[in-house]
Amino acid sequence: MPERFGLKDVVVLSAVALLGVIVLLKMWQDDRVWDKLEALQTELQTQREMIASLANTPPPPPFNPVSQSTETADPRQDTSWSVSGVELTWLTPPAHPNDPRALPGFRDGGTLTEAIEGNPARFTPYLYDTSYGQRIVDLVCEPLVVRDFETLQDRAALAVAYQSDPDGMWCRVHLDPGARFSDGSPVTSEDVRWTFHEFVMHPALGAERWRDALGVIERVDVIDERTCEFRFIAPDFRNLEAALRMLSVLPKHVYAPLTIKEVTDSSGLLVGSGPFRLSTTGWSPGEPVVLVRNEFYNRPDAPIVDQLRFVTITDKGARLEAIRNSEVDIARPTASQLDSWSRDPALARDHKLIAWENARSGFTFMTWNCESELFNDARVRLAMTMLLDRERIVRDLYNGLGSACTGPFSTRTGQGDPAIEPMHYDIDGARSLLAQSGWTDHDGDGSIENKNGEPFVFTYMHAAGSISGPRLGAYLQDQCAAVGIECRVEAVEFGAFLDAVRTGSYDAASFKWRRSSLETDPHQLWHSTSPDNMSRWRSPLADELIDRGRSTADPIARRAVWHELHRLIHDKQPVTFLVNTNDLRIVHERIANVHAYAGGLDISEMFEGAR
């Protein structure tokens, strides 16, 4: 029987069509509301900028100079807050190392987009767990003192001056009277106290790492509205670093009304006084992070671009295609990617290819298990270092982007001793040292044995998925074979790899380590009591130097101690330091005033040229 188009079909089709029209009308109506909201937001932003400009404008001179408040006067004239008889350090205001305003084509405003490799899960201060989270927090929140990108010297941030106890037990800080949070409210010493005692140190907040790092501070006292004093538990070189440069100050009036659960469950609860602020209040993971210029940030190093965007691109090839497409302006390439782009004239012309040694750049090293019978003799470890041609490793494994490393400290910051030269590549010297320690070819089979006739066989372990690990392993195998050592290479899943190193169930392993601060604490890697002493090297002299260095307040005297430790580690080679790795970036040509400094790239001084 033929199927006919009946009344029922007409009704159904009409209902579907009506539904479609209603949905379309609803969308249209929503867009009209959207337009109204957008206009309202623009109006609010204009008013916000007007308020900020009013707040940043110096008030007219007072009629009666006697009644002039300390807030309106040059803060340098007021020392009433200070402890008499203790040296007072006035901080230089921050500035762009290369002033963009003097450059041709300078343009205020615009947008800069950076590709990041991973999804930041959150950037609530002190709760973020990735380097991307830290990067975003550092742009929105400020500590009391910052480092100059070029000279690495202290510059004023929230503090304009401080005093430090010669015995290292306290530090008094005077805040900038003009400092404002991004909502326009002033930064006070109560905000500093509250951030430390009631936010970071709150036991229910999952900020254990920060509590550990800031644990050298015993308490923060409010002296007056603009002055606070840090009291330390004991003299320690980390005291000033913790108090002045690590504690990012949060607005009490924003965070205090929230419960710890609300803070803990948040992903992007971020308000500060830094050069940028979040563009929206409700960010959730997976969305691009958009920061906008903080109108209340009025220091000379205020950013030039209006907007800073972070876009997650996980695939390394896609990151480079995105920069080629002008979808992003800054991306981090691999060494081989940078190398291949530098060989392409068109790409090299249209982009800035930057490789430089940041003072916080990492280093790679091969750690020897000093508790094993093979590597407990320093002569064997020295021989292993002499077997490795580090110039060749830099050239072949890192595309020439790096330099031979001599120790755990950066020589750029002065913590490392620049007089220490990398140990020379010397196979004959290595053979001789191995012979001195009892490893010779007794039976003429080409392999070296100890006095019991046991051959020298060890396993080099690297994390599975590592790019350089297998190549380094192949090179190590060849070099060991040249002196009669059998090296086996094993790739181990990352968790199991770390577990094996932590429990000492390994012979040799390679690592990359990033320096957490300009002056690093050697305790974690080298003190015999540290659970993270991967090489399991236990030296009473090193322990004594570390303890002495940590408790020495005078930076000059402390530097001498670190140099001595550097020399000791170099002489004993518990690990073979391989390469000081470079930081790498590709920046689109349209972004101007891009300079690589010891402190990194100063994103605030860059500006957008013609696209």
Partner 1 sequence: MRRTTPIPALVIRRVLAAAVTMLVLTFAVFTFVELSPQADPFIDGAHAASPEPEPALPVRYLRWLGGMSPITFSADAPIGLRVPDLGHSASRGRPVADVIAPALGVTLALNALALVLIYICAIPTGILAGARRGGWFDVLSGGAVVALWAMPTMWAGVLAIGFLASDAHLGWFPIAGVHDADAASFRFLPSFADAGGFRRGYLLDTLWHIALPVACLAYGGFAILAKQTRASVMENLHADHVRTAIAKGADRSGVLRRHVVRNSLVPIITLTGALIPQLVSGSVVVEQIFSIPGMGTLVLDAVMRRDTDLLMANVVVIGGITILALLLADIAVRLADPRTGDEA
- Whether the CB-CB separation of 292 and 306 falls below 8 Å is answered with yes
Residue 332, CB-side half-sphere exposure with 13 Å CA sphere: 15
Tally helices (H) and strands (E) across the chain. 18, 24
Nearer CB in complex with partner 1: 120/186: 120
Give which of 285, 287, 251, 286 is closest to 270, Cα–Cα.
Answer: 251
Nearer CB in complex with partner 1: 27/556: 27
CB of 27 to partner 1, least distance (A): 5
CB of 463 to partner 1, least distance (A): 11
CB of 322 to partner 1, least distance (A): 5
List beta partners, residue 458.
487
Burial class from Cβ neighbours inside 10 Å (0-12, 13-18, 19+) for residue 40 reads: exposed
The separation between CA 184 and the C-alpha centre of its own chain, rounded to angstroms, equals 28
Nearer CB in complex with partner 1: 314/336: 314
- Whether the CB-CB separation of 415 and 562 falls below 8 Å is answered with yes
Cβ neighbour number for residue 160 with a 10 Å cutoff: 25
Chain contacts with partner 1 (rule: CB under 8 A)? 27-28, 30-31, 34-35, 38, 113, 119, 121-122, 127, 129, 206, 208-209, 264-265, 267, 280, 284-288, 290, 309, 311-315, 317-318, 321-322, 324-327, 493-496, 498-499, 502, 531-532
Residue 457, CB-side half-sphere exposure with 13 Å CA sphere: 4
**CA–CA gap between residue 586 and residue 81 (Å, rounded):** 47
CB of 370 to partner 1, least distance (A): 18
Nearer CB in complex with partner 1: 193/319: 319
Nearer CB in complex with partner 1: 93/317: 317
Cβ neighbour number for residue 450 with a 10 Å cutoff: 15
List beta partners, residue 48.
none
**CA–CA gap between residue 271 and residue 131 (Å, rounded):** 18
Nearer CB in complex with partner 1: 269/404: 269
The separation between CA 312 and the C-alpha centre of its own chain, rounded to angstroms, equals 17
Nearer CB in complex with partner 1: 38/478: 38
Nearer CB in complex with partner 1: 511/597: 511
CB of 97 to partner 1, least distance (A): 28
CB of 212 to partner 1, least distance (A): 9
Nearer CB in complex with partner 1: 240/331: 331
CB of 184 to partner 1, least distance (A): 23
DSSP codes of every residue in 459-510:
EEEEETT-SHHHHHHHHHHHHHHHTT-EEEEEEE-HHHHHHHHHHT--SEEE
CB of 299 to partner 1, least distance (A): 27
3-state SS, residue 568: helix
Residues in the chain: 611
List beta partners, residue 451.
none
CB of 156 to partner 1, least distance (A): 32
Secondary element (H or E) of residue 560: helix 555-572
Pairing state between β 170-175 and 159-164: antiparallel
CB of 43 to partner 1, least distance (A): 15
Phi, psi dihedrals of residue 541, rounded to the nearest 5° = -65, -40
CB of 209 to partner 1, least distance (A): 7
